[in-house]
Structures are given as structure tokens and as C-alpha cells.
């Protein structure tokens, strides 16, 4: 029986990128690692067992924790709520070369991948994902279940509301203390966008300068 069993919830591409971070973080402990996934996935992935959630719950480990490596923030929230109800705590993950400066407050269950930088005076909510090479600069406020794809550049005095998704390589212009730049709840910023103005809740923007995304009629 494992003393501590840590499940990486989600055995997709991101989950397979996150497991090695967890392995490194827990290398001086006796924790055992598994993937947890209810989808149609092999029983072993990259040398680690894949358990269904009910199998994970039933395992007789002394303590169980989960890392929510699921990019879709709505699913992430749903699963986190279910696991909390089942008495399973989340584990935050922080790659060994993450840079975090002064007065940074980060919520539970976050994943900070390699080369993430959080500078000074930043507030970040729960279950935030920062994929590789992303940064958050001074005086930003990030909500719950926000997702950064790789290489997001979020400059100072920016507010990002809950469930927003920021695509790979996006650049967000700095706001000011009096008027932060605001990315609204559940907004999507497309890969490569250069965001120079507020983005309303629920809206997708793309391009440089970023504009509301209107897919062509086919
Ligand atoms: C903006 C986005 C959400 C739109 O997704 P979608 O609705 O599936 O869009 P499609 O791929 O069907 O593309 C529709 C059109 O928009 C264009 N387009 C898509 N994304 C674009 C972007 N980021 N910037 C500019 N144009 C874009 C496509 O070329 C296509 O143009 P066309 O109609 O002339 O052929 C998506 O493309 C995106 O940028 N997602 C983020 C991806 C990312 O960062 N992944 C990281 C994984 S870790």
C-alpha cells in the first residue's frame, strides 16, 4: 500500500507533460504516481498505471491527492468540485525552475510549468494553469480556473477574470494602477494575439492588434 498516492487527473498530452513535474517535485518522498482518466486510454502510459477515478478512490493508499491537468477550465472546475466532495485534496505543482518574486499569492491546485515567471505583487486564484515559458508581471490579478497556453506574456496591471483562456504566444499590454486592462470572464485570446484593449466577457479575440474573432462563413 502506498503511503501517498498522487493522481494526475487527465492522461492527455498536458497530463503527460505534468507528470514529470510532479515526479521531480516529490522525488524525495515515497509518493506513488498514477494517471487518473475515465476515457478510452491504455492501462499504462509512459510507464505509469492509468486508473479510473473509481479505482483511484477505492485504492487503499494512506493519503490521496490529485493534480488537475485538464486544459478545459469548465471540466477542471467540475472535477475539482467532485473530488473535494469525495474528500480528495488537490496538489499544486511548480516546476523546479519557476521564478516567483515578492508578494505573490497563489490559490490551490495550480500548475506552473517550466520557465514560468510570476514577478511581484500578483494575486492568482485557484486551479490556474501556466504552460511553459509564460509570465505574469507586477500587479496583475488572475481569477480562478484561468488557463495560459505556452509563452503567454501578461504584462503589469492586467486583470484576467475566471475561466479566461489565453492562447499560445499571446501578448497582453500593460494597464495602469488606475485603469487595469481587463480580460473578461470566459474570454478567449487566440494564439499570437496582441491584446491592447479590454476584452469583454465571453468574447474571443485574435490578431495584432486583437479584434473580436468572426470566423468566415463557409
Ligand atoms: C482563436 C481560436 C480559439 C479559434 O478556434 P476555431 O474557432 O477552432 O478556429 P478555426 O481553426 O476553425 O479557424 C477559423 C479561422 O480563423 C483563423 N484563425 C484561427 N486562429 C487564429 C488566430 N489565433 N489568429 C488569427 N487567425 C486565426 C483560421 O486561420 C481560420 O481562417 P479562415 O476562415 O480564413 O480559414 C483558436 O484558433 C486559437 O487560437 N486557440 C488557441 C490555441 C492554442 O493556444 N493552443 C495551445 C495548446 S497548448
Q: Summarize pLDDT for 36-49 with one digit per residue, the tens.
A: 999 999 999 999 99
48 and 139 within one domain? no
118 and 71 within one domain? no
- Nearest CA to 181 out of 195, 163, 191 is that of 195
Residues 148, 134: Cα–Cα separation, whole Å:
7
Residue 217: inside a domain: no
Residue 48, phi-psi category: left (phi > 0), alpha (psi -120 to 50), beta (remainder): beta
| Distance (Å) from CA 104 to ligand 1 centroid | 32
DSSP string, 146-213: -EE-TT-EE-SSEEE-TT-EE-TT-EE----SSS-EEE-TT-EE-TT-EE-S-B-TT-EEETTTTEE-
- How many structural domains is the chain composed of? 2
Q: Summarize pLDDT for 163-189 with one digit per residue, the tens.
A: 999 999 999 999 999 999 999 999 999
| Distance (Å) from CA 25 to ligand 1 centroid | 34
Q: Is the CB of 215 under 6 A from ligand 1?
A: yes
- pTM for the complete prediction? 0.97
pLDDT given at position 22: 98
Amino acid at each position: 500500500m502506498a503511503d501517498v498516492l498522487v493522481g494526475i487527473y487527465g492522461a492527455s498530452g498536458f497530463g503527460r507533460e505534468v507528470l514529470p513535474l510532479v515526479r521531480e517535485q516529490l522525488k524525495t518522498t515515497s509518493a506513488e504516481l498514477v494517471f487518473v482518466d475515465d476515457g478510452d486510454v491504455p492501462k499504462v502510459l509512459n510507464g505509469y498505471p492509468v486508473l479510473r477515478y473509481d479505482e483511484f478512490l477505492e485504492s487503499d493508499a494512506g493519503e490521496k491527492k490529485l493534480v488537475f491537468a485538464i486544459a478545459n477550465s469548465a471540466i477542471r472546475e467540475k472535477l475539482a468540485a467532485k473530488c473535494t466532495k469525495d474528500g480528495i485534496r488537490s496538489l499544486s505543482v511548480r516546476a523546479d525552475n519557476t521564478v516567483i518574486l515578492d508578494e505573490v499569492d497563489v490559490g490551490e491546485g495550480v500548475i506552473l510549468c517550466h520557465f514560468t515567471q510570476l514577478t511581484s505583487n500578483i494575486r492568482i486564484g485557484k486551479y490556474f494553469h501556466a504552460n511553459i515559458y509564460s509570465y505574469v508581471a507586477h500587479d496583475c490579478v488572475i481569477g480562478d480556473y484561468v488557463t495560459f497556453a505556452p509563452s503567454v506574456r501578461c504584462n503589469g496591471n492586467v486583470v484576467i477574470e475566471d475561466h479566461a483562456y489565453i492562447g499560445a504566444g499571446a501578448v497582453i499590454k500593460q494597464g495602469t494602477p488606475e485603469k487595469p486592462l481587463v480580460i473578461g470572464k470566459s474570454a478567449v485570446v487566440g494564439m499570437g494575439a496582441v491584446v491592447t484593449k479590454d476584452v469583454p466577457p465571453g468574447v474571443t479575440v485574435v490578431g495584432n492588434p486583437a479584434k473580436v474573432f468572426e470566423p468566415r462563413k463557409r
